Amino acid sequence: MKTDKGKSITILAGRLFDPYAKSFRTKQVIQVSEDKGLITSVKSATENEFEVLRAEAGESELVDLSSSTVLPGFVDTHVHCESRPLQLHRS
């Protein structure tokens, strides 16, 4: 789906966590600005609307997560620390 403000990525989410309501919302369509990487809209949809969006996707980017749970804004930032000090080799 293309917006007037540039390209966008459409995500079909089977379940979407809403941190404000502290609950899950089902069948959501999320629009993400390709330029800025920010969510621009979130709307409820029916299975019929999901099918139409899949069919109309064409050249635009569609991420079908209709059988998945989406956690917007969640970034995995954990680190694996080595148990041994890093050995730097000098030539």
Written as tens digits, the pLDDT of the chain (91 aa) is 444 457 889 999 999 999 889 999 999 999 999 888 889 999 999 999 999 998 887 666 899 999 999 998 777 777 777 666 666 666 6
If one counts every other C-beta atom within 10 angstroms of the C-beta of residue 53, the result is 18
- What is the reported pTM? 0.70
Give pLDDT, residue 3: 44
Helix, strand, or coil (residue 78): coil
Give pLDDT, residue 90: 67
